[in-house]
């Protein structure tokens, strides 16, 4: 397979054009249909993929590992604590060495700079499996899910309600790229980074969509097609959990808030959910929720990402 994506790193969605994002999503759709028809094409036959994890994971780890297997590749799960990294080997040296062995490096890190350093020193593409700054594979899967449910992306309106975190940052860039309008509602002091908001606003303006950041959850969800939320304390912020819950209570997705969205609005959550905090059981298990289809699509989209980038 030869495309303009081959050999590229996937660190941040800002580095990908609308056309490239739609290409990845369409390929994810195809691979999903193929899998449903019992066809599994081995685009990465005989290759290996290193997966470095500095943080916990259920979906990302398992979906990447299964995706690699179904593409004919071998995935090596590497807990960063068990690597020489923990004993002082540099990220740069690790990248040089691993890329002598593997066709790609998938990495989940605390500091986004670690991904930048990995990519700068690896001969093989590096894929961001979540950093403190962003979660691009999540958002590619989310866009695939939204298009699957709504048939289009451009022109839709999405509200993200809660903490202005890594997922919010990538949603801002992903929605802006595909021409979706996005409203982010967070408590004061928990907004996404100014730099990301202004980058997303510029991209959205070029695509005829808009970016709104508000401290009012009701304003954000008025007549939207999609409501999205995530945990209030991300990995690494466990010590702030109790305080954050107090501050973010008014930003919970419950039936009352959902009533302000369009009647056929869908509800997404990247998971894991803290039920009873950012989302009620009623909404998470209710007819608007597509969270488990969303989780499934991580598998298909990451197959597409690896097949397109690593081949
Ligand atoms: N959504 C997501 O990335 O989940 P995990 O932390 O379980 O990988
Ligand atoms: N914002 C969350 C996402 C988990 C998939 C975190 O970083 O912990």
* 138 noted as active-site residue: yes
Q: Residue 40's pLDDT band (boundaries 50, 70, 90)?
A: confident
Fold of 13-134+298-310: Rossmann fold (3.40.50)
What is the CA(293)–ligand 1 centre distance, in A?
Answer: 14
At 230, is the secondary structure helix, strand, or coil? coil
pLDDT in tens, 146-195: 999 999 999 999 999 999 999 999 999 999 999 999 999 999 999 999 99
- Predicted confidence (pLDDT) at residue 2 exceeds the cutoff of 60: no
Q: Is the CB of 270 under 6 A from ligand 1?
A: yes
* 108 noted as active-site residue: yes
Q: Residue 311's pLDDT band (boundaries 50, 70, 90)?
A: confident
Q: Residue 1's pLDDT band (boundaries 50, 70, 90)?
A: low
CATH 3.40.50.1370 intervals, the chain:
13-134+298-310, 138-294
Q: Is the CB of 234 under 6 A from ligand 2?
A: yes
State how far the Cα of 212 lies from the Cα of 38, in Å rounded to an integer: 43
Q: What share of the chain is helix, strand, coil (3-state, %, to 5)?
A: 50, 15, 35
What is the CA(271)–ligand 1 centre distance, in A?
Answer: 6
* 230 noted as active-site residue: yes
Q: Nearest-CA neighbor of 183 among 235, 247, 228, 135? A: 228
Query: What burial letters (b/e) apply to 145-184, b meaning 16+ CB within 10 Å?
Result: bbbbebeebeebbbbbbbbbbbbbbbbbbbbbbbbbbbbb
Upstream peptide bond of 207 is cis (omega within 30 degrees of 0): no
- Token pair belonging to 41: 């094409």
pTM of the full structure: 0.98
Fold of 138-294: Rossmann fold (3.40.50)
């Amino acid at each position: 397979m030869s495309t303009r994506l081959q050999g590229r790193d996937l660190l941040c969605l800002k580095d990908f054009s609308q056309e490239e994002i739609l290409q990845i999503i369409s390929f994810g759709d195809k691979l999903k249909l193929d899998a449903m028809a019992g066809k599994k094409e081995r685009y990465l036959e005989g290759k290996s993929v290193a997966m470095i994890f500095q943080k916990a994971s259920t979906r990302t780890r398992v979906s990447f590992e299964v995706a690699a297997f179904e593409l004919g590749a071998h995935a090596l799960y590497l807990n960063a604590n068990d690597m020489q990294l923990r004993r002082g080997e540099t990220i740069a040296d690790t990248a040089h060495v691993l890329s002598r062995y593997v066709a790609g490096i998938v990495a989940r890190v605390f500091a986004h700079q670690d991904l930048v350093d990995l990519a700068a020193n690896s001969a093989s593409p590096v894929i961001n499996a979540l950093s403190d700054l962003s979660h691009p594979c999540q958002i590619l899967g989310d866009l695939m899910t939204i298009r699957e449910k709504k048939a289009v992306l451009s022109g839709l309106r999405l509200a993200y309600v809660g903490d202005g975190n890594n997922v919010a940052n990538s949603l801002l860039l992903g929605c802006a790229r595909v021409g979706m309008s996005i409203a982010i509602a967070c408590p004061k002091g928990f907004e996404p980074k100014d730099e990301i908001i202004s980058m997303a606003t510029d991209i959205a303006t070029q695509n005829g969509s808009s970016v709104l950041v508000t401290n009012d959850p009701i304003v954000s969800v008025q007549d939207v097609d999609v409501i999205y939320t995530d945990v209030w304390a991300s990995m690494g912020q466990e010590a702030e959990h109790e305080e954050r819950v107090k501050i973010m209570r008014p930003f919970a997705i419950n039936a009352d808030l959902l009533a302000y969205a369009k009647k056929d609005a869908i509800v997404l959550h990247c998971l894991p959910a803290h039920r009873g905090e950012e989302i009620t059981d009623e909404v998470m298990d209710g007819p608007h929720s597509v969270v488990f289809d969303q989780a499934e699509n991580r598998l298909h989209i990451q197959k597409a990402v690896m097949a397109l980038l690593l081949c």
